[in-house]
Amino acid sequence: MAEMSDRSNLLLHFTANGAYGPGGSELLVLERGEGPYVFDTDGRRYVDGLSSLFCSQIGYSYGEEMAAAAAAQLGRLSFNTNWATAHPPAIELASALVERAPAGMAAAFFTSGGSESVEAAWKMARQYHLANGEPQRTKAIARDIAYHGVTLGALSFTGVPRFKEPFGRPAIDTRHVSNTNSFRSPLGGEELTTALLEELDRAIEEEGPDQVAIVIAEPIQNAGGCLVAPPGYWQGVRQICDRYGILLIADEVIAGCGRLGRWFASDHYGIRPDLITIAKGLTSAYAPMGAVIAGDRVAEALRRPGVSLLHGITFGGHPLCAAIALQNVEIFERDGVLENVRRRGSYLRDRLEQKLRPLPIVGDLRGDGFFFAAEMTPDGGEGRFESDQVARLVREIVPRLLLERGLIARADDRGDPVLQIAPPLISDDAVLDEVVDAMRDVLAAAGDEIGLTA
């Protein structure tokens, strides 16, 4: 057996793997969690201000309860598929999700993660159009910089060119339109809404309204830094989709499962999607699982005589994962997880405003629920760092300072450079303070290192 210190056999995701070779950067290896904290192999504690990449909604102290739910299920039935047969946990979980979903949602299809959910939603949308005699609807509309996953179908919707270019022509013909970045737009409020909706309408007209199958968008866009839509945007998107017979997919892989204080982010913003994709927080990451929730119209089309859903994933809806997801639902409701986010979301926002806004490196603060981003700028306003400064900040300075300060958060430059947090949804005020204080220290020190003066 290789020593734990020998990491040469493990390839890391979205990582410059060569950077961690001999003589390279130290790799953070986390081996234990407790509440909102994680501990590395030297016993050092970090506050997990990112919920392990937006997944660990209930933190790390429910292992025994989850293990009991898993053991009970494994003792009864270790596995069966959702391919023309079913099992009780999948049936119960589908009902639990539909009950908690926005009005008009009717059925759940299970997957193993977010990219799979996005692709499954696309195929369900295609089959909806096929069932309605519109096979020509083969195009998609997505938004700039948005991340919808990396499997080749989902990658088509992802709006980050550098993630796509190495892999050739996208599998799905996708047109990208502007996202809802109001900080970087010269327009604000309803003027921005009007401009964005006009652009969407124009894009659809240019693509051919009867060619477009879906519009896919996150209720609050993660990549680019917690981009909230301006007033009236979602109502307008719904109207445009209805006008042209296009299905609206709300990608809630990050925004759903309580991140904004409701099971579904669409409910939080009054969005009326036809399909919703979730993953990550569905089990609070105690097991890998995703789902697509289909609205009445789509479910009805898929249930028509003669229609067969031409999509399946062996482990989608695995009974172990479904049992854990059901336990997660029970924990959310028993322990008031959604209420916690609703009660403390404004506290988190106020603290961030008080402590971060005055820093010379903070140009904007935005977000919702337990999900916020600080955009880093050279002048505390709308200026922009040079690209080499962005690279230093995002890949070198901020990651090092985060580790030193014991905070897990995300420095990201898919759009303008941001530092993002998404604390576990069980965090109390003291934990939120810890996250905000550490974030302030990191950003203040990053500003000093990059040469900004207060």
Ligand X SMILES: Cc1ncc(COP(=O)(O)O)c(C=O)c1O
Q: Is 218 in the site for ligand X (CB under 6 A)?
A: yes
Q: Nearest approach, Cβ of 68 to ligand X (angstroms)?
A: 26
**Contact flag: residue 216 with ligand X (CB under 6 A):** no
Q: Closest distance between ligand X and the C-beta of residue 117, in Å?
A: 7
CB of 218 to ligand X, least distance (A): 5
Q: Toward ligand X, which CB reaches closer, 149 or 367? A: 149
172 lies in the site for ligand X, by CB under 6 A: no
Give the one residue of 147, 286, 332, 372 binding ligand X; rule: CB under 6 A.
147
| Whole-number Å distance between alpha carbons of 287 and 282 | 9
Contact segment (CB under 6 A) with ligand X among 246-254, 263-271, 356-364, 402-410 equals 246-254
Residue 318 near ligand X by CB under 6 A: no
- Supply the minimum distance, in Å, between the C-beta of residue 151 and ligand X: 7
Chain positions 277 to 306 lying near ligand X, rule: CB under 6 A, are 279
Query: Per DSSP, what are the bridge partners of residue 407?
Result: 47
Q: Binding residue for ligand X (CB under 6 A) from 66, 254, 301, 407?
A: 254
Q: Which stretch binds ligand X (CB under 6 A): 27-35, 83-91, 141-149, 339-347?
A: 141-149
Q: Is 258 in the site for ligand X (CB under 6 A)?
A: no
Contact status: 368 vs ligand X (CB under 6 A) = no
The reply on whether position 251 binds ligand X by CB under 6 A is yes
- Written in H, E and C, the secondary structure of the chain is CCCCCCCCCCCCCCCCHHHHCCCCCCCCCEEEEECCEEEECCCCEEEECCHHHHCCCCCCCCHHHHHHHHHHHHHHCCCCCCCCCCCHHHHHHHHHHHHHCCCCEEEEEEECCHHHHHHHHHHHHHHHHHHCCCCCCCEEEEECCCCCCCCHHHHHHCCCHHHHHHHCCCCCEEEEECCCCCCCCCCCHHHHHHHHHHHHHHHHHHHCCCCEEEEEECCEECCCCCEECCCCHHHHHHHHHHHHCCEEEEECCCCCCCCCCCCCHHHHHCCCCCEEEECHHHHCCCCCCEEEEEEHHHHHHHCCCCCCCCCCCCCCCCHHHHHHHHHHHHHHHHCCHHHHHHHHHHHHHHHHHHHHCCCCCEEEEEEECCEEEEEECCCCCCCCCCHHHHHHHHHHHHHHHHHHHCEECEEECCCCCEEEECCCCCCCHHHHHHHHHHHHHHHHHHHHHCCCCC
The least CB distance from residue 124 to ligand X, in Å, is: 16
Which residue has its beta carbon closest to ligand X?
Answer: 114
Site for ligand X in 68-127 (CB under 6 A): 113-115, 118
Residue 265 or 450: the one with the smaller Cβ distance to ligand X is 265
From the CB of 154, what's the least distance to ligand X, in Å? 6
CB of 197 to ligand X, least distance (A): 22
Q: Note whether 416 binds ligand X by CB under 6 A.
A: no
Task: Count the site residues for ligand X by CB under 6 A.
Answer: 13
- Which of residues 139, 148, 351, 414 is near ligand X by CB under 6 A? 148
CB of 149 to ligand X, least distance (A): 3
Q: How far is the CB of 408 from ligand X (least distance, A)?
A: 16
The nearer residue to ligand X, 118 or 443, going by C-beta atoms, is 118
List interacting residues with ligand X (CB under 6 A). 113-115, 118, 147-149, 218, 222, 251, 253-254, 279
